[in-house]
Amino acid sequence: MTTTLRPDGPEEAGVGGGRTQRWHIMVNGRRAGGLRTNAWARTGQYPGEICELEVAEPDRRRGRATVAVLAAEEVLRYWGCARAQVTVPAGATVALHLAHTLGYTEQMRNLGKDLAQLPPIPDGLTDRPITAEEYPDWRRAAVAGYREELLTAGLGPDEATARAENDHRRALPVGPGTVGTVLRHLLDADGRVLGSIWVTLHQDRLPDGSPLAWVMLVKVAPEHRGRGHGRTLMHIAERECLRAGVRHLGLNVFRDNGVAIGLYESLGYRTTRHLLSKPLG
């Protein structure tokens, strides 16, 4: 039997000048499922995404998904994407096995937590907003740190640079004045900056429609690490969410950051999704 992709309607414009297309998975002219391909730019070495993969029950375990994903990779190559990304929900062991079989490796994972009560802040520590005067230096350091993480995750230098800049530009279009943004410094009793936290409120919606906030960055100054300040910064993030009426908080963590994963799990965060990628060169 022949498995192919057939467009499900016309191609549409994607976010930030990208493109998106929904496809039928066809088996000898019969629909057996579907998927979507996304690209975040029309030119340049940007990543693409394969998502919304579904195969009808009678056609599962027959290699339909494997062939469909490989065909979708060809679409992304044609679109000029340098890398394909897929997202697999926690507990979807069959889908995770398929991704690994096709050469995808985990780049990062999403974790989440339902918030219930205001967490305590240790005595002698305070926090305050990052000021407009402090913001340019904070942003430069944040972009540089994110670029290094992307390089560690396997992206090439040009791709990592472009993605770090573009992601920050989209997330903070007007800097600290961006609506729904929390940017705060953690200070000791002498007013020294120990670290910072960046949270976007109402970043997404859960299936029940409730808002989901997102931790974008947790940063402890190198000279102050190992003293529990990362935990305090996460408590600040949770406090700001609850004060804004948001009771669900999520975050990304790169696969190699075992220290951060251990911290988040100790705070009650649990893996919700695995994000995997594969070079298309």
Predicted local distance difference test score (pLDDT) of residue 228: 94
Predicted local distance difference test score (pLDDT) of residue 182: 96
Q: What is the tens place of the pLDDT at every residue in 239-278? A: 999 999 999 999 999 888 899 999 999 999 999 999 999 9
Q: Are 218 and 264 in contact (CB under 8 A)?
A: no
Backbone phi, then psi, for 253, in 5-degree steps? -145, 135
Residue 66: how many CA atoms within 13 Å on its side-chain side? 12
Q: What is the tens place of the pLDDT at every residue in 42-94? A: 555 578 999 999 999 999 999 999 999 999 999 999 998 888 999 999 999 99
Strand partners, 217: 198
Q: What is each CA distance from 76 to 20, 25, 98, 160, in whole angstroms?
A: 10, 16, 19, 18
Predicted local distance difference test score (pLDDT) of residue 5: 96
What is the chain's Cα-based Rg?
21
pTM over 0.75: yes
Q: What is each CA distance from 248 to 145, 201, 203, in whole angstroms?
A: 26, 10, 10
**Cα 134 to Cα 127: distance, rounded to the nearest angstrom:** 14
**What CATH topology corresponds to 3-81?**
Aminopeptidase (3.40.630)
**Cα 22 to Cα 246: distance, rounded to the nearest angstrom:** 32
Q: Would you say the CATH fold of 113-275 matches that of 3-81?
A: yes
38 pLDDT more than 90: yes
**Which one-letter DSSP state was computed for residue 118?**
P
Backbone phi, then psi, for 169, in 5-degree steps? -65, -40
**Cα 8 to Cα 11: distance, rounded to the nearest angstrom:** 9
Domain ranges in the chain?
3-81, 113-275
113-275 belongs to CATH 3.30.750.24: no
